[in-house]
Amino acid sequence: MSEPKTLAGKVWDQHVVPGSPQEPSHLDAPGGAAAAQGERPDLLYIDLHLVHEVTSPQAFEGLRMAGRSVRRPDLTLATVDHNVPTIGRDQPNPDPVSATQIATLQGNAREFGIPLFDIFDIRQGIVHIIGPEQGYTQPGMTIVCGDSHTSTHGAFGSLAFGIGTSEVEHVLATQTLRQVRPKMMSVEVTGELGPGVTAKDVILAIIHRIGVHGGIGHIIEYRGDVIRALSMEGRMTVCNMSIEAGARAGLIAPDETTFAYMKGRPHIPGGEQWESALARWSELATDDGAAFDTEVTLDGSEIVPYVTWGTNPSQSVTVTDRVPDPQSMPTETQREATRRALEYMDLEAGTPIREIRIDRVFLGSCTNGRIEDLRSAAGVVAGRRVADGVRAMVVPGSGLVKRQAEQEGLDAVFTQAGFEWRDAGCSMCLGMNPDILLPGERSASTSNRNFEGRQGPGGRTHLVSPEMAAAAAIAGHFVDVREVMSWSR
Amino acid sequence: MEPVSTVRGKALPLDRPNVDTDQIIPAKHLKRIERTGYGPFAFEAWRSDPDFVLNNPAYDGARILISRQNFGSGSSREHAVWAIQGLGIDALIAPSFADIFKGNCLQGGVLTIELPDEDVDYLMARAEELPESELVVDLESQRVSTADGSWTRRFDIDPYKKHRLLRGLDDIGMTLAQEDDITAFEAGRDDAAYPRTEP
């Protein structure tokens, strides 16, 4: 019997292009012999390449300058998400530099024959929302994009990771990528989540445990009863933030939940092909006895809603806790980093999280911009009002998420409560379109990064779940969403 | 890519862990479609502090940057590497680097040298105390040394990457030389089992 393999190991092995990269002939001369034993990169075949306006223009320009073409436009999909305004799309883009970048992608898509979900296409949206939505994201695939949150697609048991622009060019030209095989990490979340505790809290708890550098050089496989019980939306939220733990990718073995989500989507096979695909996908799960390089276990029943207080996603505490004291950190580097973070965030050590007042609320992003996220938040918001002085916005992850939410009446729930209801895009997650925090403004955000200035220069970001963000919008400060359900509407 | 062999110069001490790519180059500067011109915006927010190390003229002309664990964390933007190159920096020393950033550095020919914490402590303190002192990073011998040779350490680098950097090889050119292998791979599997983005 062959050696037991991990899920990621199986997908990897199925995509290694055999042939000359295995031969050390081009590595002769100094270091050649050692190279044969070193971490030789594999040449990985890429099944799906997602492209957006920000990290692709230089790659297409590289192709043009070298006279190269796109090898598989039929495995490539482009959309506009990072730069696009989320209101007033019938008007010219207020930022001429962004307008040029978007026009450049439109031109490149035409020139190289790549399908594009353009700004007025109902299928337009955040690149990591639209792949699964259209059924392009399937188990066992290799998926790349010039965007670090590509790990989202790992929720389907695909191997998905972010790449830089030079690598985008490499994939466009060759449909392959040279990659050293990462180590494998198992993160098992056992037990059952309590009420009001979400996938976002699970991943924030994981990052809190292993740190923002804990996953460097690894692919994380999320396992255990808590993960199995998550919806696909929840699994995407977890896998999305793998990069925030430093991991190359994160994935989850496909199961009945995965298959039920996929069935009937536009690019999912039907009939006999569906049956044979199911058989293939069902064999992907990690074999019993497969070895991981690193193993971490969390008790899911102990996870409660998290709020970040600092300037990286591991700097978080539970909503019932307080802003930490730098002196409580174990090393001088961490004490200094904590002091810096508290200064930037304008927070005093010892302040109860629930006393932190907010100015803005952002519901959206590739982390929490899917229909289930909007439903959950709407459940908190329904019949209530956004607190005075708080500006809150909902930005659906795609045009189709927006339409679905409107069909369910969620837009009315949000707008009646005082939320802005916007068009799909990355919006306030990353501060490169008109949706930004002003200097000194403090947000409760369902996005993925609380880095200094991430949502706009001088802005202060607290990462939370959609339910926690909705509750903060109503209260004007952080509250434990588990208490909110008992409030009157 | 230009071949890389030796980087010699002053070292800029950036004594912070988890320096993320949003600090290295804020997103609002990613809207351009060129590969160059990002240097003036590198560490833009931190540079507004007059005490920030990049504002210290003693480090003008530095070619090496020293920082702490998980340097380059966050986004996949290769603009971060272009911004660092725009500062005139060609080698980075830290206990660890974020994976995507490290890969992007390799593409651009910026050396990422991982040394143990105690060695980084030493180099950080030295760069802070003696801004004019130079370091020499030599890829062929895989050594980081003080210019006077009084301190030297060997660093690890993947032999494949070393080979590429020393010769300035183009990944795409190398891979296209194996186009037959890729075609054979496509022919050897059930290509129809994978979704097409074209209707």
Dihedral, A388, A428, A232, B72 alpha carbons, nearest 10: -130
Mean pLDDT rounded to a whole number for chain A: 95
Whole-angstrom Cα Rg for chain A: 22
The backbone torsions φ and ψ at residue A466, rounded to the nearest 5 degrees and listed phi first, read -60, -40
Give the three-state DSSP class for B13. Answer: strand
Which of A215, A252, A225, A253 has the alpha carbon at shortest distance from A237?
Answer: A252
Report d(CA A322, CA A307) in Å as an integer.
Answer: 10
- Are residues B159 and A104, on separate chains, in Cβ contact within 8 Å? no
- Are residues A76 and B75, on separate chains, in Cβ contact within 8 Å? no
- Are residues B33 and A34, on separate chains, in Cβ contact within 8 Å? no
Q: Quick one: pLDDT at residue A380? A: 97
Report d(CA B57, CA B53) in Å as an integer.
Answer: 9
Is the confidence at residue A36, as pLDDT, over 70? Answer: no
Any A CB within 8 A of B34 CB: yes
What average pLDDT does range A265-274 have in this prediction? 95
- Identify the DSSP state of A315: -
Q: Quick one: pLDDT at residue A1? A: 60
pLDDT by residue (tens digit) across A185-207? 999 999 999 999 999 999 999 99
Is the confidence at residue A136, as pLDDT, over 70? Answer: yes
- Angle between helices A127-134 and A232-240 in degrees, nearest 10: 150
pLDDT by residue (tens digit) across B100-143? 999 999 999 999 999 999 999 999 999 999 999 999 999 999 99
Return residues 154-183 of B near A (CB < 8 Å): 158-160, 162-163, 171-172, 174-182
Closest residue to B77, CB basis, from A55, A138, A454: A55
Question: Which DSSP string do the residues of A416-466 spell out, in sequence order?
Answer: HHT-EE--SSSGGGTTSSS--PPTT-EEEE-SS---TTTTSTT-EEEE--H
What average pLDDT does range A272-301 have in this prediction? 97
- Report strand pairing: B152-154 vs B143-146: antiparallel
pLDDT by residue (tens digit) across A220-236? 999 999 999 999 999 99
Measured on CA atoms in the order B13, B16, B20, B24, is the torsion positive or negative? negative
- Are residues A453 and B23, on separate chains, in Cβ contact within 8 Å? yes
pLDDT by residue (tens digit) across A48-88? 999 999 999 999 999 999 999 999 999 999 999 999 999 99
Q: What's the pLDDT band for A20 if we cut at 50, 70, 90?
A: low
Identity at B31, one-letter amino acid code: K
Q: Is A310 exposed, middle or buried (0-12, 13-18, 19+ CB in 10 A)?
A: buried
Q: For chain A, what percent of residues have pLDDT higher than 90? A: 93
Which of A301, A261, A266 has the alpha carbon at shortest distance from A281?
Answer: A261
Any A CB within 8 A of B100 CB: yes
Q: Quick one: pLDDT at residue A37? A: 44
pLDDT by residue (tens digit) across A446-478? 999 999 999 999 999 999 999 999 999 999 999
Q: Which residues pair with A306 in a beta bridge?
A: A318
Q: In A, which residues are within 8 Å of B79 by CB distance?
A: 165
Which tokens is A218 given? 């690894």
- How crowded is the C-beta side of B174, counted as CA atoms within 13 Å? 23
Q: Is the pTM of this model over 0.95?
A: yes
Residue of B nearest to A30 (CA): B163
Measured on CA atoms in the order A422, A426, A428, A429, is the torsion positive or negative? positive
Length of chain B: 199
Q: In A, which residues are within 8 Å of B76 by CB distance?
A: 55, 146-148, 150, 162-164
Terminal CA-to-CA distance of chain B, rounded, Å?
Answer: 37
Report d(CA A160, CA A140) in Å as an integer.
Answer: 10
Identity at B49, one-letter amino acid code: D
Give the three-state DSSP class for B150. Answer: coil
Length of chain A: 489
Q: In B, which residues are within 8 Å of A30 by CB distance?
A: 140
Question: Which DSSP string do the residues of A374-411 spell out, in sequence order?
Answer: HHHHHHHHTT--PPTT-EEEEE-SBHHHHHHHHHTTHH
Which of B194, B106, B132, B72 has the alpha carbon at shortest distance from A177?
Answer: B106
